[in-house]
Structure 1
Amino acid sequence: VAGEVAEGSLKGKTLTFVSYGGIYQDGQIAALKEFVDKSGVTLLSDGPTEISKLQAQVESGNVTWDVVDTGDFPPYVYCGKLFQKLDFSKIDTSNIPEGQISECSVPAMNYGVVLMYNTEKYKDNPPKSWKDFFDIEKFPGSRALE
C-alpha cells in the first residue's frame, strides 16, 4: 500500500482503523506503519468490530470509522448502507483471487476451513461434506466450529 501513496499526501488527515483487537490488531497496525510513515496520516485504532456500533454511527450521522476489518458477510448484506461502495479505479485488485471482491470490500486475508473426523469411529463411512457434518442422526456425537 505504501508504494501507492504520494509522500505526505495525507498529512493533517486522520484515518480510523477498526478490527478485532489484541495481537491480531497489533500486527495489522504494524503492517500499516510504512503507509502511515509515507503518507503522513494520523492512524487511530478502534475496536472491536461490531456491526451494531457501525449501524449506530451511520444512523446518527456521526461516522468515525474509516476502514473496518470484518467478516465476509456484512459487506455483502450492508453494501451501500453501512459500507461504502469502493472506487476500483483507485484500488489495484490484480493480485486478489477471483471471487473475493465485492462492491464494498476486498479481502484482508485468506484462510481455509477443514472438515475433520475420528478415523477410528468412521472407518468405513466417514463424513464427506458439511451436510454430513450437520447430520446428527447419521453421524452422532459432538461437533466443534471455530
Structure 2
Amino acid sequence: MTSPKNRVDTAISAISGVTLAIYLLIAASLSLLAVFSFYDVILDLVALIHAGDMTQGVLQVLHDLLLTLIIVEILETVTAYFRTNRVLVTPILIAGITAMVRRVLTFGVEPVEPIDIGMTLAAILVLTIAVIYIGRQERAESY
C-alpha cells in the first residue's frame, strides 16, 4: 500500500507533466504563428514596392512586424518557462507595450476618441514603469 505522500507526489508529477505538454504545444503553435506572421511581413514588403500609397503600405508593414514581435515576446515567455520553471513577467509586459505602440500607429489612420488616446498612452506609461520596476527587482535578486 502506498502512502498518501507518495500519491500526492505522483499526482503533482502527473499535473506537472500535463503542464509541460501544454506549454510545449503552445510553444510549437507560437513558433508556427511567428513564421507565418514574418512571411506576411515579407509579402507586405513586396507589395509595398508595387504600391501606389506608400504611407498605407508602410503602416501595414509596421503593423505586421510589430505583431510578429508580440508573438516572439510571448514565445520568449514560454521558452523562459522551460529554462527556469518560472513564468517571467517582463516579456509579457514588453509584448503589451508593443501592442500599445501598434495601436498608436493607427491613430492617424482611423478616427479615435481623445479618451482612447489618453488611455493608450497611460497604458504605455504603466507598462513601462512595470518593466523598469521588475527589471530592478530581478537585478537585485541576481546579486
TM-score, normalised to structure 2, is 0.19
Bigger fraction of residues in helix: 2
**Bigger strand share:** 1
TM normalised by structure 1 equals 0.19
